[in-house]
Amino acid sequence: MTGRARYGANLATLANGAVGVGAILYILAGNKLWAMLLIVCGIGFDGLDGWLSRRAGAPTSAFGRYADSIADAVTFGLAPGTLLLVHSDRPVLWAPFASASLLVGVAVAGLAIARLVYFTARGYQRDSFLGAPTPQAALAIIVLVLVADVPAFVGTNPPLVLVGSLLVALTMVVPLPFPKIRRSSPLRPAMILTGIALVLALLPLQFAPSEGSILYRIGFGGTVASAVGILAYYLIGPFTVRAPPPSTAPPEAS
């Protein structure tokens, strides 16, 4: 079982990276909605990778950590950053913010990679995340894009998308603890429902429904539900992390 679980974990990692590349290609082709759905699928593959790795029962290899971080960098760093760089929908409204879009997009990708470099080197040894994890940051940026870019539920609002995305990016490198979404986490049900709600929001939006139609309302409702779940993780999550027990080792001689 150990070998098959490890093999399955590597396949899930590969699938995560593949959908991230696909998301970037769809963004460049002008289809952000399909790209966002692929990023959410990448979160599913990332969760499957972790579950299979734990099922294998052996410590994660260095190769597994590097491969997982590279896949995460593509899907949860480069792809969300590209979402902020390319604006084929309503380009006239986005034209005055071209330089800001470039800076924020690069910041999102760069800070996600920095976050993952730390995790690969040392952070994997912790019981919690130090700084918000990249999948949750990607979810938050997707919700911002849905609300104020494509399909723009509240209207196209570049400052809201850019300022919100920059704040999300900064949470990835702040020294605050965030919980890992495992079976014992009190936020696990909420985050599972958040992912499901976002999938249910993105699927009907692929058909470009007219405003006020039933598919449009489903997309809007799923986006609102996802936003609530993401806010819960960011605002409540740090308070659910247990402080590490005090060290019982004798003090070192000075």
pLDDT at position 222 is 97
Closest CA to 135 of 204, 203, 237: 237
Separation CA 26–CA 17 (nearest Å): 14
User: What does 6-55 look like in DSSP terms, one character per residue?
Assistant: HHHHHHHHHHHHHHHHHHHHHHHTT-HHHHHHHHHHHHHHHHHHHHHHHH
pLDDT at position 186 is 87
What is the mean predicted confidence (pLDDT) over 105-120?
95
pLDDT at position 249 is 46
- pLDDT tens digits, 32-71: 999 999 999 999 999 888 888 777 766 666 677 789 999 9
pLDDT at position 2 is 57
Give how far Cα 75 sits from Cα of 16, 134, 156, 254, Å.
Answer: 7, 9, 25, 47
Separation CA 107–CA 109 (nearest Å): 5
- What proportions of the chain, in percent to the nearest 5, are helix, strand and coil? 70, 0, 25
What is the mean predicted confidence (pLDDT) over 117-132?
87
pLDDT at position 244 is 65
Give how far Cα 129 sits from Cα of 169, 189, 225, 235, Å.
Answer: 15, 18, 24, 15
pLDDT at position 57 is 67
pLDDT category at 123 given cuts 50, 70, 90 is: confident
Element (H, E) at 178: strand 177-178
8 A C-beta contact, residue 121 and residue 138: no
- pLDDT tens digits, 173-225: 999 999 988 777 888 888 989 999 999 999 999 999 999 999 999 999 999 99
Q: Hey, what CATH topology would domain 2-240 get?
A: Four Helix Bundle (Hemerythrin (Met), subunit A) (1.20.120)
pLDDT at position 50 is 81
Separation CA 230–CA 33 (nearest Å): 19
Q: Is 232's pLDDT higher than 90?
A: yes
pLDDT at position 254 is 31
> pTM for the whole thing?
0.91
What is the mean predicted confidence (pLDDT) over 145-174?
97
Q: Is 21's pLDDT higher than 70?
A: yes
- pLDDT tens digits, 76-104: 999 999 999 999 999 999 999 999 999 99
pLDDT at position 60 is 63
Is the bond into 250 cis (omega within 30 degrees of 0)? no
pLDDT at position 64 is 73
